[in-house]
Amino acid sequence: MKPNIVISKPSRVSKGTIQLTGSKSECNRALVIEALSKGKVKVQNVSDAADAVLLAGILRGAQEVHSSLIIDHSPNEDSYEPSTMNHELKTVNIGPAGTAMRFLTAYFTLQDEEVILTGSERMKQRPIGVLVDALRELGADISYVENEGYPPLKITGNIQQSAARIAIKGNISSQYITALLLIAPNLPLGLGLEIIGDLTSRPYVEMTLAMLEQAGIKHNWTDNVISIAKQDFSETSIWVEPDWSAASYWYAIAALSDEAELFLPGLTSYSLQGDSVITEIMANFGITSQFKDGGVLLTKEPKPIIRKEFDLKKCPDLAQTIVVVCAALGHEATFTGLETLKIKETDRIAALQNELAKIGVKLIENNEAYTLDCSGKFIPEKVLFHTYEDHRMAMAFAPLAILIPEVEFEDANVVEKSYPAFWTDLEKVGFVSPPTP
């Protein structure tokens, strides 16, 4: 039974201190680096995000798993609950964790074992062919268990590398590129990766290279070719910063409030996370970000919103947050760079269109751009939002409780994927009523 949750507006100004968990993106990279460095690199501040906890269990529990060939990390579809089941092959189920799916696909090509790598029903619809083709070109042995181009995969490790330089399309998912870069230092011949066409979500590739650098791995990025020679990791530790994508929901709350004073400890202005651009974006909505006392203080001053165009290609995970804020304020902005949204946890464009209709707002596609039509906007007394097994649908629509007296969300636990404490944090600033059965 998936419980719903009902939230309503705080009676006071949005004020408080919120300690966000570690970045899911940074943590997933750090865990793979830790595993590939054979423990020379240690991860500090491991994220509570369910995707990261699951990946840590798979990678850090590797010793235990390798000793038995019959462990299935998650027998229930869409569940994070690990348990054991008899199988001929070791099956690793990463549930809905897309980043983990992509990183592990590359990781297992280096291991001395054969695995079936699978995920939730949605994961089986999220494409992975571009990464599989690239790994096969390097010499990996990977086959599709069900549908060509999609998980589950059968991966036979111990890659016999036959090529050092390959080309890869950059416009589907940067996660494929990160997956390849993470294993590059351990590849017998190293890696030269030529990125063909546009590179989507570029800051995530930069994050990967910066984190490899922290672990002592050098790279060269000239024009569209990234090269990493075979090399050893340094003995070091990697600190996972708090999650800027999670911070975006607090910016949205501030943007929809008349006044706000929210302190988010541990966030810095020099983050590796591209989503820290939320500070600049939200400045358009009257939010000031002051970096002080080891964190960021958000304050709100009402001001007219001038910016009408937002290119979100570098920060796709902010799209829902920003689109919902604009819709709620009746700000008819245009958004570009949303091409990858259809292959994430859900088709986020369709999900946004369906749920925004509940406040009379339309998100209209027009020549690779999307524009809000707020002419029919209304504020209902109460509303039930569907969440589509997408944590960001719940968290991006939650700030609407500032304007709508009673907001209900389907499947409260959906937020666990990246921000398990989301509802309890809302409660801390006066929002939440308890989950209804």
Ligand X SMILES: C=C(OP(=O)(O)O)C(=O)O
Ligand Y SMILES: O=C(O)C1=C[C@@H](OP(=O)(O)O)[C@@H](O)[C@H](O)C1
Number of H helices, E strands in the chain: 13, 21
Q: Binder to ligand X among 10, 16, 95, 98 (CB under 6 A)?
A: 98
Can residue 252 be called a binding residue for ligand X (CB under 6 A)?
no
Output the CA torsion 414→378→248→428 (10° steps). -70
Can residue 105 be called a binding residue for ligand Y (CB under 6 A)?
no
Cα 264 from Cα 418, distance rounded (Å): 17
Binding to ligand Y in span 112-141, by CB under 6 A: none
Smallest distance from the beta carbon of 10 to ligand Y, in angstroms? 29
**Which is nearer to ligand X, 13 or 343 (by Cβ)?**
343
Cα 234 from Cα 185, distance rounded (Å): 12
Contact 85, 62 (CB under 8 A): no
**Which is nearer to ligand Y, 73 or 391 (by Cβ)?**
391
CA 417 to chain centroid, in Å, comes to 9
User: DSSP readout, 306-354?
Assistant: ---EEE-TT-GGGHHHHHHHHHHHT---EEE--GGGGGSSS-HHHHHHH
114 forms beta bridges with 156
* Axis crossing angle, helix 244-256 with helix 319-329, rounded to the nearest 10: 0
The DSSP output letter for 234 is: P
29 marked among binding-site residues: yes
Can residue 99 be called a binding residue for ligand Y (CB under 6 A)?
yes
The binder of 345, among ligand Y, ligand X, none, by C-beta within 5 to 8 A per type, is ligand X
- If 0-12 CB within 10 Å is exposed, 13-18 middle and 19+ buried, where does residue 39 land? exposed
**Which is nearer to ligand Y, 120 or 257 (by Cβ)?**
120
Q: Alpha-carbon torsion 97, 429, 355, 246, what sign?
A: negative
Smallest distance from the beta carbon of 215 to ligand Y, in angstroms? 16
Q: Binder to ligand Y among 14, 47, 201, 276 (CB under 6 A)?
A: 201
126 marked among binding-site residues: yes
Smallest distance from the beta carbon of 229 to ligand X, in angstroms? 28
Contact 84, 72 (CB under 8 A): yes
What lies within 8 Å, CB to CB, of 43 at 6+ separation is: 27, 30, 31, 33, 34, 56, 237, 238, 240
Catalytic residue among 243, 317, 390, 411: 317
Stretch that binds ligand Y, among 34-42, 199-207, 277-285, 286-294 (CB under 6 A): 199-207
Q: Binder to ligand Y among 21, 47, 200, 273 (CB under 6 A)?
A: 200
Binding to ligand X in span 398-437, by CB under 6 A: 418
The binder of 152, among ligand Y, ligand X, none, by C-beta within 5 to 8 A per type, is none
Cα 170 from Cα 419, distance rounded (Å): 28
Can residue 276 be called a binding residue for ligand Y (CB under 6 A)?
no
Considering CB under 6 A, how many residues would be counted as binding ligand Y? 12
Stretch that binds ligand X, among 72-80, 81-89, 93-101, 232-240 (CB under 6 A): 93-101
Please name which of 107, 105, 103 lies closest in space to residue 51, comparing C-alpha atoms: 103
Contact pattern for ligand Y over residues 289 through 318, marking x by CB under 6 A: ---------------------------xx-
Considering CB under 6 A, how many residues would be counted as binding ligand X? 8
**Which is nearer to ligand Y, 198 or 259 (by Cβ)?**
198
Is 72 tagged catalytic? no
Cα 247 from Cα 276, distance rounded (Å): 8
161 marked among binding-site residues: no
Which residue's entry shows tokens 């809000």?
A: 372
The binder of 185, among ligand X, ligand Y, none, by C-beta within 5 to 8 A per type, is none
Summarize the annotated binding site for phosphoenolpyruvate as residue ranges. 24, 98, 126, 175, 348, 392, 417
Residues classed as catalytic: 317
Q: Applying CB under 6 A, which residues contact ligand Y?
A: 25, 99, 173-175, 178, 200-201, 204, 316-317, 340
Q: Applying CB under 6 A, which residues contact ligand X?
A: 97-99, 317, 344-345, 392, 418
